[in-house]
Structure 1
Amino acid sequence: MSPEHGGTRTFVNPLTPPGVYAPQEDTELLIGALSDEPVPPDADVLDVGTGSGALALEAARRGTRVTAVDVSWRAACAARLNALMAGVPVRVRRGNLFDPVRGESFDLILTNPPYVPAPGGERPPRGAARAWDAGGDGRLVLDRICREAPALLRPGGVLLLVQSALSSPELTLGHLREAGMKAAVTRRRHIAFGPVLRAREHWLREQGLLPPAENAENKEELVVVRAELPV
């Protein structure tokens, strides 16, 4: 997940209490990828790091059986409330990534994980920053998803993941392909820096994650990775 960017959204925002990640452009980009996916109404869908439940609600409106997971109690409660208000069934579980659904399998996994590189990345993020800070290279959670998601997919199942170009989409593609999946970037969008990236701009340039200031556009590229497990 990326911190606030602002901008126009085409989906209905669910309620987001303080401390719960509010849907942003990355959420919208992933919802667009979901709309392209031919998911049958009886499919089992997993939304990992659900936040307020925006992705889970979109999947549930298509008649799928949706499980939403988040490590935050506030997020889990918000997702339950938003599903109730939307009148769609969503099974919500609180836990760390895939831990609450061990032994289960899914036709589709959706995830907008933390992916923003953070200084002092050896320290676990706290509070709201858990929704976006992901270690010094931004891959603290992405690498775990690449390792663990394939085992939860049924043959022909699909993983849809959104991340920043700052956190090496090429590594995501490589790890997923090594796991036997067909993986590619299917959507891209450039957005203006939000407050967190503006505050870290100098550090990101020092790390070589952004080009030198004289070549700067002050924009971040978001990408959707689609990976399919062969039948």
Structure 2
Amino acid sequence: MRLLVPPGVYRPQEDTRLLAAALRREGLPRAARVLDVGTGSGVLAIAAARQGAAEVTAVDVCARAVLTARLNGMLARRRIRAVRGDLLSPVAGERFDVVLANPPYLPTPPGRYPPRGAARALDGGRDGRVVLDRLCAEVAAVLRPSGVLLLVHSALCGVGPTLALLTAAGLRPHVMERRVVPLGPMTRSRTDWLRRRGLLAPGQETEELVAIRAQRP
């Protein structure tokens, strides 16, 4: 699709494609309401609209990303409600059939958190889980009964904790797909630190992405 991605807005990468594939496999219920958390360019929100969602809401903490998602929605001739705010706060009290999430998950060296600018779409604190843990704990509140969360992140920040937190929140999670991809530029820039922490093996030039599905009973 024709896509506008200005500086400072997360450009779709392998994690975006993995989540888009998970959405295609999931399918959407009739008259579905979809929420895209951390929308960035809005590409996943547009994908949901193209798959027949009746209503799509896109949220991002970055004002430039919100504007970009709106513009890309217009370019794609798809109606998207894009709003600025912190994680799920802009949609408090609303309920959705499907929530899509590609949160910041890159482990971040000391002194670089909280991030600024484009790094806000990537940096997730020392363990990569600052935003991810909040999302896991809070997302059930915006899911309808039988609603589904589709989530992507790197195995560098741990898969077990994600599954445990989603289970504790009352959801039924499982790993849909694992995909090994080359390290991205930001990850490569901190490989020495990641290796000292034991998160990357010596000579390792790839990481594993996981797509997780979690359903509310």
Are 2:73 and 1:83 aligned? Answer: yes
Separation in 2 of the partners of 1:28 and 1:58?
11
Alignment of 1:123 with 2:113, yes or no, is yes
2:26 partner amino acid: E
TM-score (norm 2): 0.97
Aligned to 1:100: 90
**TM-score of the superposed pair, with normalisation by structure 1:** 0.91
Q: Is 1:16 aligned to 2:10, yes or no?
A: no
CA distance in 2, matches of 1:184, 1:16: 32
1:60 to 49, 53, 57: 49
1:6-54: CA deviation from partner (whole Å, max 9, x where unpaired): xxxxxx3621011110100100000000001131241100000000001
| Greater than 4 Å deviation, 4+ residue runs | none
SS of 2:66's partner is helix
Query: Which ranges of structure 1 fall in alignment gaps of 5 or more residues?
Result: 1-11
Question: Residues 34-73 of structure 1 correspond to what in structure 2 (within 5 A)?
Answer: 34-64=23-53, 65-73=55-63
**Contact 1:183/1:226 (8 A) holds in 2:** yes
* Correspondence 1:150-169 to 2 at 5 A: 150-169=140-159
Conservation of the 8 A alpha-carbon contact between 2:27 and 2:51: no
Spell out, residue by residue over 1:131-155, the C-alpha distance to the aligned partner (whole angstroms, 9 max, x if none): 0001000001000001110111011
- Of 191, 195, 198, 1:201 maps to 191
Quote the offset at 1:121 in angstroms: 5.9
Q: Which amino acid aligns with 1:228?
A: Q
Contact 2:173 2:214 in 1 (8 A): yes
Instruction: Give the counterpart letter for 1:98 in structure 2.
Output: L
Aligned pairs (5 A) from 1:162-181: 162-181=152-171
Counterpart Cα distance in 2 of 1:129 and 1:122: 9
What are the ranges of 5 or more consecutive residues in structure 2 without an aligned counterpart? none
**One-letter amino acid matched to 1:44:** R
Query: How big is the alpha-carbon RMSD for the aligned residues of Structure 1 and Structure 2?
Result: 1.1
Alignment of 1:130-141 (within 5 A): 130-141=120-131
